[in-house]
């Protein structure tokens, strides 16, 4: 893929070329980032999504999530695929840098078009298809949302579930 064809919601680390090849997908909230302190924004009749997402810059990292990202072999692209909205790109990139999270690519929900609204699983399915179309072979994916795990498995991706406790079973 040429740099001009990189989707606007894909943020590569400086110096990383979008060359394709083996890739591991990691979710952010509930896997690397501990969002427990802001779950209350989503409880009750009024769900304050903007409050929920903008508080993400205060998340502590999970040591296990940092270790997971660091453990992935260097010949794999590490892509963080999160349903955080586009307006959290700057804060999320700063957070990833401050916590030294090993990654090559960050993908958030776009501000418009397909994936900008609706179920997180549908957004992630769309980004999975775009990654594959760009020449990436998705070797594994990790998420804390069972609906997303089911989506990955339906797409033939080896998917690992981790329990954050954010979702009702």
Alpha-helical segments (H) within 13-159: 49-54, 63-71, 89-98, 120-133, 146-154
Classify 80 as helix, strand or coil.
strand
Burial of 94 (0-12, 13-18, 19+ CB in 10 A): exposed
- Shortest Cβ distance from residue 36 to Mg ion (Å)? 12
Nearer to Mg ion, 18 or 61 (CB): 61
Tell me: does residue 59 bind Mg ion (CB under 5 A): no
Calpha distance 104→101 (Å, rounded): 10
- Residue window 2-41: x/- pattern of binding to Mg ion, with contact defined by CB under 5 A: -------------------------x-xx-----------
Calpha distance 132→113 (Å, rounded): 19
Nearer to Mg ion, 16 or 67 (CB): 67
Taking CB under 5 A as the criterion, which residues in 125-144 touch Mg ion?
Answer: 144
Nearer to Mg ion, 29 or 59 (CB): 29
Applying CB under 5 A, which residues contact Mg ion? Answer: 27, 29-30, 144
């Amino acid at each position: 893929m040429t740099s001009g064809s990189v989707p606007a919601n894909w943020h590569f680390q400086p110096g990383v070329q979008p060359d394709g090849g083996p890739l591991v997908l990691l979710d952010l909230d509930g896997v690397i980032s501990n969002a427990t302190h802001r779950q209350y924004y989503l409880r009750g009749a009024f769900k304050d999504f903007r409050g929920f997402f903008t508080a993400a810059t205060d998340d502590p990292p999970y040591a296990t999530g940092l270790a997971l990202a660091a453990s992935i072999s260097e010949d794999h692209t590490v892509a963080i695929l999160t349903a955080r909205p586009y307006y959290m790109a700057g804060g999320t990139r700063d957070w990833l840098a401050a916590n030294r999270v090993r990654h090559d690519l960050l993908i958030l929900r776009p501000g418009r078009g397909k994936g900008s609204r609706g179920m997180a699983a549908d957004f992630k399915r769309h980004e999975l298809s775009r990654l594959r179309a760009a020449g990436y072979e998705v070797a594994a994916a990790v998420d804390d949302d069972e609906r997303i795990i089911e989506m990955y498995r339906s797409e033939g991706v080896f998917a690992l579930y981790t329990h954050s406790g954010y979702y009702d079973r």
